[in-house]
Structure 1
């Protein structure tokens, strides 16, 4: 029997409790282990299948090294290493929906040390963002949905992953750092049996919904969704989001906003980690800025320092 875990901020606890209900529906005997990348709060009426993860010492020094989002994401393999025991373990992003049983992943985890979900399942023209270069910078595999089973290979994988994240776990694409996710690109080469699952039902999110049909999905992931505006922000993607995923995200938002804990917890600022940088501008504005920047650089090759010389120093 597989078990589940997630890592969340306090403000994501309503999402986690919704996820716990979905797990109980499809896996009545399974538990959802929940770790905070945040300060603890006192919670009323915890779902029976939710198990809180105690403090993990290896993560404590990282609270003042990484931003809130970086800490949330790089915590995942540390928690996995702490939890992995007799049963296979599946990670789901806290803002996820489990829509059925993960039969293929369960079968693979009987033999394979780790099962990954691909961001894309086929090549696409790089006319929209996220594009191929984005995934080369941030990861070919989706760190919001993966599974592992106990064994020597898995132990080596988790130790290697955690070791790298201790010092190289931030978002610095020019230096080859894409938080926890980019490291997954190397795992099929370094750890024998790590299996990238090619299945359109797994790991559906804003960056790949355009290539999925929406028929018989198993996991939806809504990380980055704006619950007030009920849409994905324009800085995340300029790809068309298909109706099936747009409707699913809006319906999920209604459940989150209606959850009894959302009013008290939904806006809490994470207690751990350095402040996150400002949100990026919309992709359309980024493209215009890139075009104008190229034009300025071209003009300055004709007449050096003609435009904005102080900005070139």
Structure 2
């Protein structure tokens, strides 16, 4: 038995439904789960999808988590807990794969997730990063070497132990606070190769394409088909493009540099629209603190940085 799962709330539910539809199309033999971190029932969920409410997980310190985390932090903090629950409910599960709700499968991904390693991880970069104004090597170092939007494990003593170890740490160490050494659930993936000896990285640029791939691997489009380096695109992650993502929204402007990527984003928008507004409960997510995210925050940050450069330049001179 092979399972694919995602974790979402009402803000990301349309994305999770688009992911689920692509799983049904390209991985029809796999079971698809949605981990639901909200206090409203999911409307119009396709009957072939399985859902687990976060209240079924019996997470210790759950109330404290909802009070200390923003909603966009709470979702990734719950990911290892949902993985543990899915494994518990499905003792015959051989392979468990996580995709962020912003992921879309464009072809079968069996060649990647079907590998025999006990853990499969997706590095942000697999070669020296080409010069890019917004995205630098140190940014990748800050957020971790592996992308938390895609990973896969096979059931073993080491992988189950890793899930338990990881889950305990997201109880209070999954904030987005780079200065304090935290980056949601993602930095803990750095320890995957340490705790799971039989692991493998996925180096194919056609896998899990997104803003992190744009500088090194240009996307190509022809007749509605997308490819990278002559290889058909397998999957794409739209993190940071259509709703706030604490990591990738700062780099959303890079998408404008690729006409092919803009075409892909437009296609994705049509899939989200097909779900219809009735697929999403109204209002803000029911769990986690709700941040006030200004529409022009990136522009303001850029202006603030330029003003800081000017004042530093002025400070060099005696007046």
1:1-313 matches, within 5 Å, as 1-44=1-44, 46-54=45-53, 55-58=56-59, 60-61=62-63, 62-84=65-87, 85=91, 86-108=93-115, 110=116, 112-212=117-217, 213=219, 214-215=226-227, 216-226=232-242, 235-239=250-254, 241-260=257-276, 262-263=277-278, 265=280, 268-279=283-294, 283=298, 285-297=300-312, 299-300=314-315
Q: Could you tell me how far 1:276 is from its partner in structure 2?
A: 2.3
Q: Could you tell me how far 1:277 is from its partner in structure 2?
A: 4.7
- Given the two structures, how large is their TM-score scaled by the length of structure 1? 0.84
Distance 1:48 1:264 in 2: 14
8 Å CA contact 1:26–1:101 kept in 2: the answer is: yes
Distance 1:35 1:82 in 2: 10
Q: Could you tell me how far 1:271 is from its partner in structure 2?
A: 0.9
Distance 1:21 1:163, change over 3 A: same
Gaps of 5+ in 2: 220-225
Distance 1:21 1:226 in 2: 19
Distance 1:279 1:204 in 2: 27
Q: Deviations over 1:170-193 (max 9, x none)?
A: 011011111111221232233312
Gaps of 5+ in 1: 228-232, 307-313
- Given the two structures, how large is their TM-score scaled by the length of structure 2? 0.83
8 Å CA contact 1:236–1:283 kept in 2: the answer is: no
Which has the larger displacement, 120-129 or 148-157? 120-129
Count residues with an aligned counterpart. 295
Distance 1:72 1:88, change over 3 A: same
Q: Could you tell me how far 1:150 is from its partner in structure 2?
A: 0.8
Distance 2:103 2:132 in 1: 28
Distance 1:42 1:193 in 2: 38
8 Å CA contact 1:71–1:273 kept in 2: the answer is: yes
